[in-house]
Amino acid sequence: MTCTTSSPAEDLRERMVQHIKEAGHLRSSRIEQALRTVPRHLFVPAVPAEEAYANKAITIKPGKDRPASCASVPTVVAMMLDQLDAQPGDNILEIGAGTGYNAALLAELVGQEGQVTTIDIHPDVTEHARGALSETGYSQARVLTGDGALGDQEHAPYDKIIVTVGPWDLPPAWFDQLAPGGRLVVPLHWRGQARSVAFVREDGVLRARDSRLCGFIPMIGIVPAGEQHEDIADDVSLYWDSDQKLDLDAIRAAFTQPETTVWSGVTVLANEPFDHIWLRLTATEPGTCRLAVEPAAIEAGVCHPAFAYRTPALVDGDSIAYLAKARPSDGEGERRYELGATGRGPSGEQLAERLCDHIRAWDRDRDAQPVIAAYPASTPDDGLPDGLVIDKQHTQLVLTF
């Protein structure tokens, strides 16, 4: 279907699509056509059209500490649609209605023979989404109010499920309501990071070989939240998962001891991504956590992380090491930066060297990803494959290189 828009809005939409293509997140001509067709500005009428088509998230429902609902960044929208691979005639469930914009894109992709159901826990959000979908000619998209962790059994099974909020666990309903061979795309949290994972249901197990860095509003409702955090120094917080048993007093003591920084010899260009180092750590190191550091601690020299609020760290007993702020590297051509790790505690230097070993392993194959498999929590140990097991309430996540 086609919606009539003004020429300025069409120009802005074209500019948005070109930006997504240049960012490398648009590999499907069908998704490209959907993005060119659906008038994003009509789903966020409270902001100017220029802002509606900018590559940023737009808050539609403020929350206490963070937005309660928003329109996702267009590049992330396209990335997840690429992972989902919606086809004509598919029956799709979306968890997190937002503005209704994503449901409209899905309606374009599945066509008249397909079905789209979107669900959100906030009644005012679903009211907005329902109205925007009706106004733009996508009223066939079903909008429900409820806890997305329960899915929507009435219209199951689903060929595809896409989740646009960030859960720490995978509720059983998503397993049960996904058809065999169906695909679940979800921005899953584990070991302090969030990645959009494209799972496929195979023999009652969800398996994935593709995950991409992303960030989403944490999911609320009955889905469990398993991440914990505590301050380990002034303006320095450590985040870890509930299955990890840490000696926080020992780690706090480590932060009072001298630090040692080890350099890996691996370099990157400015703005070159190296998030797969963190992904590798989650598949090989049980003590992988996350540091969040306030500017005051950085300025005081207490900590110098690679990124202030999202830096991977390794904890082993009474010691900790974290990915350090990269240093400029000598050499000709484009400016490069060397990656390293900083350790504290009795074994801090050895732990920093261990983290550097993982950096060097990443450098040998920067695109390598582990196989990520999600098994029901009731699965016995002898029913799990080899790999690092992360225990959640409903799920056992197994990562294998």
Catalytically annotated residues:
72
Amino acid identity for residue 273 in this structure:
P
Residue with tokens 């074209």: 14
Q: How long, in residues, is the chain?
A: 401
State the alpha helices, DSSP H only, in 227-343. Answer: 248-254, 276-284, 295-299
Helix count (H) and strand count (E) of the chain?
Answer: 11, 21
Tokens of 256: 């009072």
Query: CB within 8 A of 359, min separation 6: which ones?
Result: 264, 266, 277, 339, 340, 341
CA-to-CA distance for 318 and 256, rounded, in angstroms? 12
Burial of 328 (0-12, 13-18, 19+ CB in 10 A): exposed
Residue with tokens 């202030």: 308
Residue with tokens 């120094």: 233
The phi-psi region of residue 78 (left if phi > 0; otherwise alpha if psi is between -120 and 50; otherwise beta) is alpha
